[in-house]
Amino acid sequence: MKKKFERIALPLIALAAAASITSCNVDDPYANKSDGNPDASASISDVDVDVPSDISAEVHILIPSGNDNESTMIKTAWDEGFSLQYPNASLKLEYTSVSSYETTVRNMAMSGKLADIVWTNSPEYLYLIKNDIAEPLDGYISSETKANRWNWSDYRKAYFDMGSLNGVHYVVPRSADSVVCFYNKKLLQDANIDMSKIKDGWTWDDFKSVCESWMEHLRSQGNADGNYACDMYLTGWGSVGYPMLRSYGADVLNEKGEVVIDSQGTRDMIKEIRDITDKGYIVRAGVTSGSSFEFGTTPFCFQSASISHYDTKANIKGNVDLVTLPLIEANHSPKVGAGIAGYTINKKSANKKIAWKFLQYLVSREGQEYMAEGGLNLAPIRSDMDDFTKEKWGEGYTDKNLGAYLKNDEYKITEEYLSRADIKYMSRLQLAFQDFLMDASQARKTVDAVVTSAVSNFKSAMGQ
């Protein structure tokens, strides 16, 4: 998912093709030599999870650089809580730049210097699985369940499943991330926009009618040129584009990994994208605009970020609230983008058991509270912490509609098509999908030509 520091999927798109090639080098000791994706057909054995309280170990955790918030959250959870259980264990944070995540992880793994715990997100965890870096976690979970220290009913399991492949879990999500609609209340009110439609459960048609009111306001001020209504991240982010495609009843690949994007639903989506770009509701791909949500000149933004990310921006501080994503009901199958940011265990770590204990602690009630104290004010991964007016993750923002993060769960999906093909094609498929969204937006090709190109590009991405 793409947020202030969890935007790994977007910046890495430019490096994806190179990453997918280097990760399959036959000299790479971490490369998955088998064809296809890992199989869950073999039974998963329980893992010994007993760790003595006096264990002496230095646990290394790799997180994105330039991310003070993530560092603070991890340090707070370790120092204030986990270290009381294991006082002789210590924490060392290591960093990777967002733009070189895959390359850095791979090189550290090959040199034997990769951290015990590795930050990841969806869909980047697939890269870690393909390169045999991510430790399967079901054996740990099974052992903890038998010891009455793990109960799936405590968690939003659907998000754990977003970090799985073929039924095997690889990631412990540290929050439940979903795309919502942020809006600048002051900007809209100052423009005398009717606010009654901007609410949880609103529809795509509601959203477009408010966007049109905003554009009418801009036109009346002579400011419609170069400005628009919504930062959708549509042409660069699959967490908005893919659910939109699915909302029109279309898909990229079917369960067999076959390209199925040539459909009427795809054509309907393309026509809709062209309609909202033509009307100025969103910016067309490749067009430069000074209008933006963070600058306080665009009233809407589709994002999965925390409210604190926007409330710290000088131009919009105090003016931002959120509602659920407007639902596209074209085929009575609305979809909302969701995903995970969290941690996996390095398969070759010498500290796997205590690494697991820390990840388990992060998703305990106490661990989630300390993460919130460190700055995590997104929806918790725990199902028993929904009430943001009483839980730490909502502190300081009880006057905001943080409940929007938790609604529409029945519609939430991740970029599912990526796991339907061999993982080695993930980066190329992402590039092909980005190209499809750009073609749909730019109107340089006919609708049929966009579909034809997309079919060719997706097949080519999988070596067909």
CA distance linking residue 137 with residue 160, whole number of Å: 11
Q: End-to-end alpha-carbon separation of the chain, Å?
A: 29
User: Would you say residue 332 lies in a domain?
Assistant: yes
Residues 91 and 239 in one domain: no
- Joined together, the tokens standing for residue 62 give 């790799």
Residues 259 and 145 in one domain: no
Q: Cα 175–324–209 angle (5° rounding)? A: 155
* Closest C-alpha among 430, 426, 433, 415 to residue 179: 415
The separation between CA 185 and the C-alpha centre of its own chain, rounded to angstroms, equals: 25
Question: Do residue 194 and residue 245 come from a single domain?
Answer: yes
Is 89 in the same domain as 205? no
Domain membership of residue 134 (yes or no) is yes
Per-residue pLDDT for the chain (464 aa), expressed as one digit of tens each?
533 333 223 322 222 333 332 333 333 434 444 445 665 544 578 999 999 999 999 999 999 987 778 999 999 999 999 999 999 999 999 999 888 899 999 999 999 999 999 999 999 999 999 999 999 999 999 999 999 999 999 999 999 999 999 999 999 999 999 999 999 999 999 999 999 999 999 999 999 999 999 999 999 999 888 899 999 877 678 999 999 999 999 999 999 999 999 999 999 999 999 999 999 999 888 777 778 999 999 999 999 999 998 998 999 999 999 999 999 987 668 999 999 999 999 999 999 999 999 999 999 999 999 999 998 989 999 999 999 999 999 999 999 999 999 999 999 999 999 999 999 999 899 999 999 999 999 989 999 999 999 999 999 999 99
Q: Are strands 336-339 and 412-413 parallel, antiparallel or unpaired?
A: parallel
| Both tokens assigned to 249 | 């009843």
Look up tokens 């430069």; give the residue: 288
Q: Looking at the DSSP assignment, which residues form a beta bridge with residue 58?
A: 90
Mention every residue, 6+ apart, whose C-beta is less than 8 A from residue 273: 234, 437, 440, 441
Give the whole-angstrom CA distance, residue 401 versus residue 387: 11
pLDDT value of residue 443: 86
Q: Is residue 403 part of a domain?
A: no
In a domain, 401, yes or no: no
Does residue 28 sit in the same domain as residue 134?
Answer: yes
Q: Residue 40: what pLDDT?
A: 52
Q: How many CA atoms within 13 Å lie on the side-chain side of 176?
A: 27
As for how many domains the chain has, the answer is: 2
Regarding whether 226 and 321 lie in a shared domain, the answer is yes
Claim to verify: residue 158 and residue 61 sit in the same structural domain? yes
CB atoms within 10 A of CB 107: 14
H-run or E-run covering 338:
strand 336-339
pLDDT in the model for residue 11: 29
Query: Does 395 fall in a domain?
Result: no
Structural domain for 210, as ranges: 180-338+415-461
**395 in helix, strand or coil?**
coil
Spell 338-363 as b/e; 16+ CB within 10 A means b: bbbbbbbbbbebebbbbbbbbbbbbb
Same domain, 166 and 190: no
Amino acid at 59: V
Q: How far is CA 132 from the centre of its chain?
A: 22
In whole angstroms, how far apart are CA 6 and each of 10, 395, 460? 9, 22, 29
Position 208 in a domain: yes
280 and 429 fall within a common domain: yes
Q: How does 156-192 read in b/e, with b if 16+ C-beta sit within 10 Å?
A: beebbebbbbeebbbbbbbbbbbbbbbbbbebbeeee
Same domain, 366 and 262: no
Residue 43 included in any domain:
no
Give the Cβ contact number of residue 406 at 10 Å: 19
CA-to-CA dists, residue 380 to 124, 144, 173, angstroms: 21, 21, 9
- Residue 146: give its domain's CATH number: 3.40.190.10
Q: Are 287 and 186 part of one and the same domain?
A: yes
Check the CA dihedral 348-349-355-357 and report its sign: positive
Do 185 and 166 touch, CB atoms closer than 8 A? no
Q: Are 191 and 214 in contact (CB under 8 A)?
A: yes
Q: Are residues 311 and 329 in the same domain?
A: yes
Q: Which residues lie below 8 Å from residue 226, measured CB to CB, with a gap of 6+?
A: 289, 290, 291
Would 2 be classed as within a structural domain? no
